Structure 1
Amino acid sequence: MEELKRPTRRRGFYVRMRLLHKNGRQQDKNLCFKYYKWVLWFSLTLYFFSSYFISHKPIPLSKTRFANSKSNRALIESVNTTFLHQPTSNNKGSLRDLKIYVYALPSIYNTDWLSNERCSNHLFAAEVAIHKALLNSDVRTFDPYEADFFFVPVYVSCNFSTVNGFPAIGHARSLISSAINLISSEYPFWNRSRGSDHVFVASHDYGACFHAMENRAVADGIPDFLKKSIILQTFGVKYNHPCQDVENVVIPPYISPESVRKTLEKSPVTGKRDIWVFFRGKMEMHPKNVSGRFYSKKVRTDIWRRYNGDRRFYLQRHRFAGYQSEIVRSVFCLCPLGWAPWSPRLVESVALGCVPVIIADGIRLPFSNAVNWPDISLTVAEKDVSKLGMILEHVAATNLTSVQRNLWDPSVRRALLFNDQAQQGDATWHVLSALSEKLDRSHMRSRLQSESDVDT
């Protein structure tokens, strides 16, 4: 308002100047008129620039709205559709100067398997992704005598059967045993610690037991040559289980970061969500499979039978290559157990902003120190599948917005995705962070500590 008054005051000044002109003071009038024009120009410029910056503040991420929680569909809307890209920093963060030596094994143990293109993109591909990330990581050392841990890159989940497309890992034990024989004969590091500072990946259903069927996995047990080592495995439960009775780190299954990025470019995580409950995948094996057990402990069968006719539930039994486009449109994504408790749907749901509904009793989730799972997901007991609709309706009517706000934090998505080059806060970084908590197994640090104790 102050700027609007200035012309009036200046006009009075201009009138007085005209009176002075009549008394022969033309030169002073010209100088003051130029001064007036300069002040007016400066004031208007300042006004317009101030108006521009005030009216162009960044638009904050809007809160989502759940439209009619008792309706057949949910509509989640947001005015901000900007996709937040992951950082490209390779900062080690708080990894306490961790050093890892990566064995350069012959290609028959790893890269030869990449001739099958599915090997590096399948849900079990964490074994490939971690190896690749470590080769480019700041924590890698080329001096094995300064290493805290030794990574043994053996790919065992790349051998896909031609019958059902799932990995055939009957060769795993012999392949790993062969690799251990090789490194123990050429290097002194395995023998000095009996493998306790050596790290392996077991990214398939029953982890360190190296078999895809639980009854066979339990019967075979963990190979003796691995019982002292550290296993990075997708399999983890909160109760005692023979296949996790070894030092281990639970890791997420592999989902391609590139596929997630492309999906979110088309449909941002904060965009429209018009599917209320989503599931696509195998629903049942009738009546039992060759092991004599029901698939998914009948949980998926019960879901199909109870909710297939319910319009709130979008259930599909057939594979669809573009199913991520369905996840990013969904509010709730069902993540029931299969043969094992974990599922790649867990990571896909989180990465694409769909609230994961975990139906797998006793599951141990990856990176619980970094990902606050109770704040971003729902857990439903297997016996409560019949109440699933009612449970989800209650969440939708109460704290859905809060759960989504936590879920859509980009750091949560980042924590569960493996990148070719480790980035601070991504899945490989959290693996390294977990290893840094196990430095009591480092032979090198134990030796240095012993020498320090002797000196003192």
Structure 2
Amino acid sequence: MVEQKRPPKSRGFYVKMKLLHKHGRPQQEKICFFRYYKWILWFSLSLYFFTSYLISNNPNGKPTSLHKTRLSNAKSSVVSRALFEPINVTAPEQAIGTPGLLKNLKVFVYDLPPKYNTDWLSNARCSSHLFASEVAIHRALLTSDVRTFDPYEADFFFVPVYVSCNFSTVNGFPAIGHARSLMASAVQLVSSEYPFWNRSRGSDHVFVASHDFGACFHTLEDVAIADGIPEFLKNSIILQTFGVQYKHPCQDAENVVIPPYVWPESIRNTLEKVPATGQRDIWVFFRGKMEVHPKNVSGRFYSKRVRTMIWRKFNGDRRFYVQRHRFAGYQSEIARSVFCLCPLGWAPWSPRLVESVALGCVPVIIADGIRLPFPSAVKWPEISLKVAEKDVGKLAKILEDVAATNLTTIQKNLWDPRNRGALLFNNQVQEGDATWQVLRALSEKLDRSYRSSRVSRELVTDT
């Protein structure tokens, strides 16, 4: 530590000497007291600045062991701030540590160059559109209690690559044609500069693929199936919104089905205006893309004709509020509705699943074989309805029967705030929220962790 120079005599010192000279010995006691007080103040300030320096250089509150890696806590801190400042628009929530429930899980977050993630945040949509869980999970992990700065004590390694933030200049939709090459570049980087990928062949590495068909990286199912999941990702864990209950090439890797991203603040704002348990004057609601003709301009059948059937069959039914055009305040319509239709689009999942549950509207899921997120936390059979795609023409009769029998029970289950919490991603991990559910799912996959498997082998050997 550089020795601090003694500060020059101040005007206060000159005034004290004048007083002493003027009043003589009776002022000595006051002068002694002043000198004692000055040194106490000086010591307190020195202690404050010293502890502040330690805290700012070690955010984990403990020494970091980086061993053979090229990691830098200072660099991590810079990346963390760059990630938070443009997108943390809500009041920060208090992170809740639950090491027991998460089996003392430890996750190491790779500090990748910003071209893989934070550079994309220059576009505000990157952190707010329906695929933004890739941003939200990264952001929450950076301040989570499960994060470790020592990769040698990590159970899992999170690779933060944003592939859904490249928006087409033609139609404004996310363009993911670059996704495979960007992911491949990230894998090449971590496998060449760090030892952790190669020792497990990537089995304890976690990626987010939050678009239509997950790690197949294409928005059209036939092309996605033909491409399949890249070989370099097939041994890893994929967090993806896509999930079905039957064998499908786009879930041909260890995966966790996660909800699509819905901005929590928008839900809170809507609930303040229209409470979930308030009056509902819309019986059946749907707003979204509905093709008048079943064949899309691409030559493919959009939504497997389901949305076209909804439009043709129920557009004239006054009990059905179906709209084909965008409306910024559509969440207020959901909050006023009894039933909310959640038909498949190109993929089986939809952000309406989250918005309906969060705003207390019974989701009517029309997507055969869909696998829903976090079934251990969200009791989907108790809070939603499933209607087969072939029965979409019978919707009115089906919903009439539910309204006459068990609608009240379904609504009571639906309004449990734990359901809403499990499907929303917060700025910081809160117990029970979507990122917490991801961590809980990972804690059930510790057999894939190189570190946990090694510890288990050592225990068996010792016994």
Q: Same fold (TM over 0.5)?
A: yes
Which residues in structure 2 correspond to 1:321-360 (within 5 Å)? 321-360=328-367
Inter-partner Cα distance in structure 1 for 2:169 and 2:286 = 26
Report the alpha carbon displacement of residue 289 of structure 1 after superposing the two structures with TM: 3.1
Number of corresponding residues: 372
SS at match of 1:314: strand
Q: What's 2:97 paired with? A: 91
Inter-partner Cα distance in structure 2 for 1:322 and 1:334 = 17
For residues 255-292 of structure 1, what are the alpha-carbon distances to aligned partners after superposition, in whole Å with 9 as ceiling and x for unaligned? 00000000001111111110000000001164523553
Question: 5+ unaligned residues in a row in structure 2: which ranges?
Answer: 1-90
Q: What's 2:165 paired with? A: 158
* Percent of aligned pairs with the same amino acid: 78
SS at match of 1:238: coil
Deviates more, 1:227-236 or 1:214-223: 214-223
Report the alpha carbon displacement of residue 398 of structure 1 after superposing the two structures with TM: 0.7
Q: What's 2:409 paired with? A: 402
C-alpha contact 1:336 1:358 (8 A) present in aligned 2? yes
SS at match of 1:212: coil
Inter-partner Cα distance in structure 1 for 2:293 and 2:407 = 36
C-alpha contact 1:285 1:294 (8 A) present in aligned 2? no
SS at match of 2:157: strand
Report the alpha carbon displacement of residue 108 of structure 1 after superposing the two structures with TM: 0.2
Q: Does 1:169 align with 2:176?
A: yes
Inter-partner Cα distance in structure 2 for 1:178 and 1:88 = 35
Inter-partner Cα distance in structure 2 for 1:112 and 1:355 = 39
Q: Amino acid of the residue matched to residue 448 of structure 1? A: V
Which residues in structure 2 correspond to 1:222-261 (within 5 Å)? 222-261=229-268
Inter-partner Cα distance in structure 1 for 2:296 and 2:315 = 23
Q: What's 1:124 paired with? A: 131
Query: Which among 434, 438, 446 is matched to residue 439 of structure 1?
Result: 446
Report the alpha carbon displacement of residue 88 of structure 1 after superposing the two structures with TM: 4.2
Inter-partner Cα distance in structure 1 for 2:280 and 2:294 = 35
Q: Amino acid of the residue matched to residue 177 of structure 2? A: G
Q: Does 1:196 align with 2:242?
A: no
Inter-partner Cα distance in structure 1 for 2:304 and 2:383 = 25
Q: Amino acid of the residue matched to residue 426 of structure 1? A: D
SS at match of 1:254: coil
SS at match of 1:249: strand
Q: What's 1:423 paired with? A: 430
Which residues in structure 2 correspond to 1:16-27 (within 5 Å)? none
Q: What's 1:378 paired with? A: 385
C-alpha contact 2:107 2:148 (8 A) present in aligned 1? yes
Q: Amino acid of the residue matched to residue 407 of structure 1? A: L
C-alpha contact 1:233 1:249 (8 A) present in aligned 2? yes
Q: Amino acid of the residue matched to residue 308 of structure 1? A: N
Inter-partner Cα distance in structure 1 for 2:380 and 2:435 = 19
Q: What's 2:142 paired with? A: 135
Q: Amino acid of the residue matched to residue 454 of structure 2? A: R
Q: What's 1:57 paired with? A: none
Report the alpha carbon displacement of residue 454 of structure 1 after superposing the two structures with TM: 2.0
C-alpha contact 2:294 2:308 (8 A) present in aligned 1? no
For residues 151-171 of structure 1, what are the alpha-carbon distances to aligned partners after superposition, in whole Å with 9 as ceiling and x for unaligned? 000000001112222211010
For residues 371-391 of structure 1, what are the alpha-carbon distances to aligned partners after superposition, in whole Å with 9 as ceiling and x for unaligned? 110000000000001110000
Report the alpha carbon displacement of residue 86 of structure 1 after superposing the two structures with TM: 12
Q: What's 2:282 paired with? A: 275
Question: 5+ unaligned residues in a row in structure 1: which ranges?
Answer: 1-84
For residues 155-195 of structure 1, what are the alpha-carbon distances to aligned partners after superposition, in whole Å with 9 as ceiling and x for unaligned? 00001112222211010010011111111111000000110
For residues 273-319 of structure 1, what are the alpha-carbon distances to aligned partners after superposition, in whole Å with 9 as ceiling and x for unaligned? 10000000001164523553210000000000010000000011000
C-alpha contact 2:95 2:428 (8 A) present in aligned 1? no
Q: Amino acid of the residue matched to residue 366 of structure 1? A: P
C-alpha contact 2:294 2:305 (8 A) present in aligned 1? no
Q: Amino acid of the residue matched to residue 185 of structure 1? A: S
Inter-partner Cα distance in structure 2 for 1:287 and 1:349 = 26
Q: Amino acid of the residue matched to residue 193 of structure 2? A: E
Root-mean-square deviation (CA, aligned residues, Å) is 1.4
For residues 6-32 of structure 1, what are the alpha-carbon distances to aligned partners after superposition, in whole Å with 9 as ceiling and x for unaligned? xxxxxxxxxxxxxxxxxxxxxxxxxxx
Report the alpha carbon displacement of residue 91 of structure 1 after superposing the two structures with TM: 2.6
Query: Which among 365, 369, 377 is matched to residue 362 of structure 1?
Result: 369
Inter-partner Cα distance in structure 1 for 2:152 and 2:93 = 32
Which residues in structure 2 correspond to 1:2-21 (within 5 Å)? none
Q: Highest Rg: 1 or 2?
A: 1
Runs in 1 of length 4+ with deviation above 6 angstroms?
Answer: none
Q: Does 1:311 align with 2:318?
A: yes
Q: What's 1:113 paired with? A: 120
Q: Amino acid of the residue matched to residue 91 of structure 1? A: G
Q: What's 1:179 paired with? A: 186
Q: Amino acid of the residue matched to residue 196 of structure 1? A: S
Inter-partner Cα distance in structure 1 for 2:364 and 2:294 = 26
Q: Does 1:293 align with 2:300?
A: yes
Report the alpha carbon displacement of residue 348 of structure 1 after superposing the two structures with TM: 0.3
Inter-partner Cα distance in structure 2 for 1:324 and 1:291 = 30
Which residues in structure 2 correspond to 1:72-83 (within 5 Å)? none
C-alpha contact 2:92 2:427 (8 A) present in aligned 1? no
Q: What's 2:291 paired with? A: 284
Q: Amino acid of the residue matched to residue 152 of structure 1? A: V
SS at match of 1:95: coil
C-alpha contact 1:196 1:229 (8 A) present in aligned 2? yes
Q: What's 1:104 paired with? A: 111
Higher relative contact order, chain-length normalized (CA < 8 Å, sep 6+): 1
SS at match of 2:253: coil
Report the alpha carbon displacement of residue 413 of structure 1 after superposing the two structures with TM: 0.4
Q: What's 1:25 paired with? A: none
SS at match of 2:247: coil
